[in-house]
Amino acid sequence: MRPLYVSLLFLYLAMQMHSSFSQPAQTQTATDHFNEGIQKSAAKDYPGALQAFTMSIIQNPENGPSYYNRALTKISLNDIQGANLDLDLAIEFTPGDANAYLYRGINRTRQEDFRGAMQDFNRAIELSPNDALFYYNRGLCRLQINYTTTALADFTKAVTLAPNDVTMLIARGNCKMQLNDYKGALADYNLSLEKSPNKPLALAGRGYARFKLEDYKNAILDFNRAVELSKDDPELYYRRGLVKSRLGEFENALTDFDKTVQLNPSHFRALFSRGFCKSRLGNVKQAVADIDKSIEMGTANTTNKAYYSDFITASTLQLFGSVVQDRYKATELTDDRADAYLVRGIIRNSGGDSKLALQDLNRAVELSPTNAETYFIRGVVRSSLGDQKGALIDCNSSIKLNPRHAEAYYLRGIIRFDSGDEAAACIDLSRSGELGYSGAYKIISAKCNVTSRPTAMR
């Protein structure tokens, strides 16, 4: 009987040990696990929080808040797809949870599912129409799909609901900048800085608005302060460099553009602007090298000569100087790089390489076919190469796009006069003078006022 007694004793002890080990697990409920997940999430222990919410879901698989909070944990762990699956279930079990729609909309925006995101934001707003955060995020989504006007309406609603939220004020200011409402943007940035004086984003926004409004002195002050607060932000140095370029401080601007490129070697706009400054300082080879890089970074013609008379040479000489030195101001490079080709063309033309310049200007026109200035500059270069027919076509395009382009009327008048169309030429020259190009009057005096006087009426 002894072996049986020993076996029963071991069985009894094993059962007791199992009971003692399993007792805590039996007493920890789904609610306990849920609360544990909340605590660990607050402590930023996201793996621990994830495990706790999972245990809560195992014990209560139809509890929407558990899925919702696990989704937030997954977002913190950058598991966007997994978060969306949890948010789908959170919405299924708690269809009135506006926040679940909000975060799914944010995730869909990150995944570039803008249509799905808009549906989620719309539903969130239906469920909670007085929550500023919902309008703010829908506005951000609309900006990404270039619905700028409706984005502005969302930001305005968000600011109305949360007037002390600096982030929403800055977002509305940024949106106004995209709509070229620089004064409206300035007002938003000012209000932001009243509430939060050391906000780099607001300082940078206000500095940029002031730059656009040609208030360069105060723009510099804003960017100086923003750089002090955020020393490693390449965009701040870039924009401050733009202001210095506009002030003609090309050496100082170069320092900022150098810093931008140091912090962000792929900042093609800074490379373009640095090249522009170098061109104004006479470093043509270095300028072209920088502009070459700005074109190459992220991107994937012959002319029939007509004639080039001494009259055209003498009459357009001033245009070349104004094109290279005055007409084109330092600007920001757009994603299509059209201005990079334009400036490189100007630099090459000023260096005597007009044929390569024309190739660049052709490309600039292809990329930005509605830019009146590009057609005009190409017209000047074409004229210098003897392609007066091509130059005339460019002048027509420039004037069509900008009926107040004084120099385009002047060049067209010169070409027309030399080709024998004197009546139309004098009309163009007169229009050029009216619009402010004083050089036109010299030609008018010499060429348009020498016709015989009309016979007096008896």
- For residue 348, the model assigns a pLDDT of 85
At 17, list the tokens.
């040990």
What kind and span of H or E run contains 218? helix 216-229
Tokens at 299, concatenated: 């991107």
User: 61 is written with which tokens?
Assistant: 């698989």
Could you write out the three-class secondary structure of 39-92?
Answer: HHHHCCCHHHHHHHHHHHHHHCCCCHHHHHHHHHHHHHCCCHHHHHHHHHHHHH
Closest-CA residue to 382 (of 413, 405, 415, 407)? 415
> How many Å apart are CA 308 and CA 329, to the nearest integer?
29
pTM of the full structure: 0.71
Please report, in tens digits, the pLDDT of each residue of the chain (458 residues total): 344 333 333 333 344 434 444 444 457 899 999 999 999 999 999 989 999 999 999 999 999 999 999 999 999 988 888 899 999 999 999 999 999 999 999 999 998 999 999 999 999 999 999 999 999 999 999 999 999 999 999 999 999 999 999 999 999 999 999 999 999 999 999 999 999 999 999 999 999 999 999 999 999 999 999 999 999 999 999 999 999 999 999 999 999 999 999 999 999 999 999 999 999 999 989 999 999 999 888 554 333 333 345 677 677 667 766 554 555 665 677 777 888 888 888 888 877 788 888 999 999 999 989 999 889 989 888 988 888 899 999 999 999 999 999 899 999 998 988 888 888 888 898 888 878 888 887 888 787 754 333 333 32
Where do we find the tokens 């300035």?
Answer: 186
Residue with tokens 């007694």: 5
Burial class (CB in 10 A: 0-12, 13-18, 19+), 10: exposed
Q: In angstroms, rounded to a whole number, what is the distance separating the alpha carbons of residues 198 and 161? A: 23
CB 368 within 8 A of CB 374: yes
Q: Which of 246, 210, 247 is nearest to 225 (CA)?
A: 210
Give the residue from 134, 138, 156 showing the smallest Cα distance to 147: 138
Nearest CA among 301, 235, 242 for reference residue 273: 242
Three-class SS of 406-446: HHHHHHHHHHHHHCCCHHHHHHHHHHHHHCCCCHHHHHHHH
Residue 334: phi and psi, rounded to 5, are -85, 170
Q: What CATH code would you report for 310-448? A: 1.25.40.10
Give me the pLDDT at residue 457, please: 32
